Amino acid sequence: MKIEMNEKLKSRKGLLITPIFENYLDRFPKNYPDITKKFLLKLVKNKEFWGHSGEIGFSYADEENLSDKILLFGFGKIKNYTSKIARELGAKIGKEAIRLKEKNISIFFSKELAKYTEEFMEGILMIQYDIGKLKTKYSKKERYDLESLNILVEKSLLKNIKKDLEKAKIIADAIEYVKDLVNNPSNFVDMDYLADEARKIAKENGYKINILGNKELEKLNAGGILAVNSGSEKEAKLIFLEYKGAKNKNEKPIAIVGKGVVFDTGGYNLKPFQHIETMHQDMAGCAVVLGLFKVMKKLGIKKNVIGITPSVANMVNEKAFKPSDIITMMSGLTVEVTNTDAEGRLILGDAITYAAKFDPKNIITIATLTGAVALALGDRYAGLLGNNTKLRRELMKAGKEVDDLGWGLPLHSDYKKAMDSAVADIRNRDVETYRMAGCSKGAAFLEKFVEGNTWCHIDIGGTAFTDSPKPYQTRGATAHGFKMLLRYLEK
Ligand code: BES
Ligand code: ZN
Ligand code: ZN
């Protein structure tokens, strides 16, 4: 899609959108054309338009030099206009363009609107996401597609807006990338696919990369990763990416570790049909890590960051690991496998041990680790757990700023004790009280591998994939955690 900026409308094609704050009803911005003003006054006089948030006034335009259709769009009161509302109204406008099958839209920008250009654009772009990319009509291009977006704006605002638009496009493209990785099933997105994507990203940006396969993982005694992948015909991968954006190249890196289970059948503790259907989402943490590496250099993030994602398929066959197996992790700890469906913590345990070798400033794990987090927090908040209040608060704050929310959950010492085993050092699932505090216990397991590092865990088990999307989201993958982490890295 082409994004342009102009002072005046050039083409008669398409839909002309005029955002109207309630405050504009008697104080109309200078760069808005007279015809929209006339139209507005008529609607106001007939009590058909108030400028309330999301309100719509539609008309055909018969005037020269104007688009063929005009749309007045209510933006509510200026004092209520926040970054979150901007994103939601952007999406609402984007949806309206889709409904009208308009391929070309122009939008008048005022200085009030320009305050949240980035978020507003994000909304328009994100709602264009299409979950039907594998339909044949998608490749045949027989579908609606927004082709051009023309921002009409006073000269004095051009420069600022341009920067914001470019950033919004980079972020929206990355979010689309993350969603595609998560939405596409594991017969497309498998461990090799993820490794190839990481290679592409490293090549495009000049990042250091290292991809470990089964042989290297055996040498490292990565017993967790290998056990979970033992029922799979394909090799496990541990993907390592490094970005050096800090002024001081020796500054300690932030380690971001993402769960990359391309499909989670549950293993011999097989998932029931209601739960198994969407388990191609179980690499959403890995997708967020790849999405971040896609944009960090472009956005000039001034941090050193390493990304580590263990990628496996949790399958069932003769060689698959079994409940009651005792495995030895990369750290040397032995684990009694009480449940093969608690596999994320096994691969992440090894990945955390691997991350700790790089002497990181802190370690952030992001994973669809538990279904239990959804029972606690629903589908709007990711669970935030860890051993450092400051880091947890920083992530929560970053998430709030970009509407990618997280909320703290506790790590009580008794939850940690619940992971003790009678026959090994620890077990991967508590047996006696397993219905309780499942999210905390998953994190408690991970903590056994953190070894004194500052650490925060983001459980996106309830938020990575949704049937009840936010106004600017579509069904399926949400890329939850991507914007939270990006904002955190920007600071
Ligand atoms: N991948 C699942 C968690 C999950 C469930 C993510 C639903 C997204 C949506 C994870 O591997 C799992 O199965 N966790 C179990 C752990 C239990 C066996 C201790 C869970 O949460 O039920
Ligand atoms: Zn599982
Ligand atoms: Zn899983």
Same domain, 104 and 235: no
Residue 300 lies in a domain: yes
Which residue puts its alpha carbon closest to atom 8 of ligand 1?
Answer: 461
Whether 203 has a pLDDT exceeding 80, the answer reads yes
Residue with tokens 């342009």: 4
Q: Is 438 in the pocket of ligand 1 (CB under 6 A)?
A: yes
pTM as predicted: 0.97
What total of structural domains would you count in the chain? 2
Q: Atom of ligand 1 at shortest distance to CA of 264?
A: 1
Q: Which ligand is nearest to the Cα of residue 259, counting in written order? A: 3
Pick the last residue of a domain from 155, 175, 195. 175
Report the residue count for the chain: 491
Nearest ligand, CA of residue 438? Answer: 1
Compute the distance from residue 367 Cα to the ligand 3 centre, in Å: 8
Q: Based on the fold, state whether residues 382 and 475 are members of the same structural domain.
A: yes
Report the share of the chain in percent with pLDDT over 70. 99
Residue among 321, 370, 379 whose CB has most ligand 1 atoms within 8 A, to mutate? 370
Catalytic residue among 234, 271, 322, 470: 271
Q: Is the pLDDT of residue 144 over 80?
A: no
Closest CA to 85 of 71, 75, 74: 75
CATH number at residue 28: 3.40.220.10
Check pLDDT > 90 for residue 185: yes
Q: Is 460 in the pocket of ligand 1 (CB under 6 A)?
A: no
Domain boundary among 121, 150, 175: 175
Would the CB of 419 count as within 6 Å of ligand 1? Answer: no
In a mutational test of the pocket of ligand 1, which residue from 341, 379, 433 has the highest number of ligand atoms less than 8 Å from its CB?
341
Residue 66 has pLDDT above 80, yes or no: no
Same domain? For 292 and 387 the reply is yes
* Known catalytic membership, residue 271: yes
**Does residue 180 lie within any of the structural domains?**
no
pLDDT of residue 64: 67
Same domain as 404, residue 345: yes
Q: Is 461 in the pocket of ligand 1 (CB under 6 A)?
A: yes
Positive/negative CA dihedral, 329, 376, 270, 273: negative
Question: What is the CA(172)–ligand 2 centre distance, in A?
Answer: 30
Which one of 345, 429, 441, 448 is the catalytic residue?
345
Task: Identify whether 345 is a catalytic site residue.
Answer: yes
Residues 167, 234 within the same domain: no
Average pLDDT over all residues of the chain: 95
Q: Which ligand 1 atom sits closest to the C-alpha of 275?
A: 7
Q: 341 in ligand 1 pocket by Cβ < 6 Å?
A: yes
Do 68 and 209 fall into the same domain? no
pLDDT in the model for residue 363: 99
Domain housing 312: 186-490
Distance 102 CA to ligand 2 centre (A): 43
Compute the distance between CA of residue 196 and CA of residue 320 in angstroms, rounded to an integer. 25
CA proximity to 257, closest of 395, 373, 353, 186:
353
Question: Would the CB of 372 count as within 6 Å of ligand 1?
Answer: yes
Which of 109, 141, 175 lies at the terminal end of a domain, its last residue?
175
Are 373 and 246 part of one and the same domain? yes
Confidence of residue 191 (pLDDT cuts 50, 70, 90): very high
Whether residue 467 lies inside any domain: the answer is yes
Q: Cα(250) to centroid of ligand 2, in Å?
A: 37
Residue-level pLDDT at 450:
98
Between 39 and 279, the more confident residue is 279
Same domain for 168 and 282: no
* Residue 233 belongs to a domain: yes
Spacing, Cα 292 to ligand 1 middle (Å): 24
Q: State yes or no: pLDDT of 310 exceeds 90.
A: yes
Does 181 fall in a domain?
no
Section 466-488 average pLDDT: 97
Residues 6+ apart with CB under 8 A from 326: 334, 335, 336, 337, 423, 424
User: How many A from CA of 470 to the centre of ligand 1?
Assistant: 23
Ligand 1 in contact with 480 (CB < 6 A)? Answer: no
Measured CA to CA in angstroms, residue 118 lies from 113, 147, 164, 199, 338 at distances of: 10, 19, 5, 30, 47
- The answer to whether residue 407 sits within a structural domain is yes
Task: Find the ligand nearest to 284 CA.
Answer: 1
- Compute, in angstroms, the gap from residue 362 CA to the centroid of ligand 2: 26
Alpha-carbon torsion angle 291, 2, 123, 89, nearest 10: 170
**Weakest-pLDDT range from 20-29, 263-272, 290-299:** 20-29
Pocket of ligand 1 contains residue 342 by CB under 6 Å: yes
CA of 379 to the centre of ligand 2 (A): 18
Interatomic CA distance for residues 78 and 86, integer angstroms: 11
Query: What mean pLDDT do residues 213-229 have?
Result: 98
Tell me the C-alpha distance between 275 and 265, whole Å.
9
The strand pairing partners of 407, in sequence order, are 383
Q: What is the pLDDT of residue 27?
A: 82
Residues 250, 357 contacting (CB under 8 angstroms): no
Q: What does the pLDDT look like over 7-45, one tens digit per residue? A: 888 777 789 999 999 988 888 888 888 888 888 999 999
Q: Does 371 sit in the ligand 1 pocket, CB within 6 Å?
A: yes
- Whether residue 260 has its Cβ less than 6 Å from ligand 1: no
Q: Is residue 385 part of a domain?
A: yes
**Mean pLDDT of the region 445-458:** 98
Instruction: Determine the average pLDDT of the residues in 474-478.
Output: 97
Residues 258 and 145 occupy one common structural domain: no
Residues 219 and 161 in one domain: no
Both 242 and 273 in one domain: the answer is: yes
Residue 61's alpha-carbon distances to 6, 149, 278, 280, in angstroms, are 20, 19, 47, 48
For ligand 1, say whether the CB of 264 is within 6 Å of any of its atoms: yes
Ligand with an atom nearest the CA of residue 281: 1
Say whether both 145 and 261 belong to one domain.
Answer: no
Q: 431: domain CATH number?
A: 3.40.630.10
